Amino acid sequence: MTWLGGVFYLHADRQENDQYTFNLNPKAVNGKAFPLPIAGVAQNVQQHIVDEVGALFGEVSYAILEPLKLTLGGRGQWERKGGSSAIAASFAPGNPFNVFYP
């Protein structure tokens, strides 16, 4: 008889707080929806994500006859995820679209 067993655990914690600033150009492939160049577009991204995973696993083999073995195995796993995200768009002062996104 032979056996194998083990435990697996993972904890991941990701946090992001970034400010992105970019300009939209109507001559660009993805900017055709804008009739004029738009400067000073900003996004503030705040994100926190937590992921936890745990598992137990095992396997047992028993030699019934010399060439024949009976093998039984299993795995149990749990996972917990959670998080929050907030994305706020804004335009530079004086931008004509600042009226829509104060």
More confident residue, 50 or 90: 50
Mean per-residue pLDDT of the chain: 84
DSSP the chain: -EEEEEEEEEEEEEEEEEEEEEEE-TTSGGGTT-SS-EEEEEEEEEEEEEEEEEEEEEEEEEEEETTEEEEEEEEEEEEEEEEEEEEEEEE-TT-GGGGT--
Q: Determine the pLDDT at residue 34.
A: 62
Average pLDDT (65-74) is 92
- Closest listed residue to residue 26, CA positions, set 17, 34, 15, 38: 34
1-44, pLDDT tens digit by residue? Answer: 999 999 999 999 999 898 887 776 666 665 566 666 666 778 88
- Stated length of the chain: 102
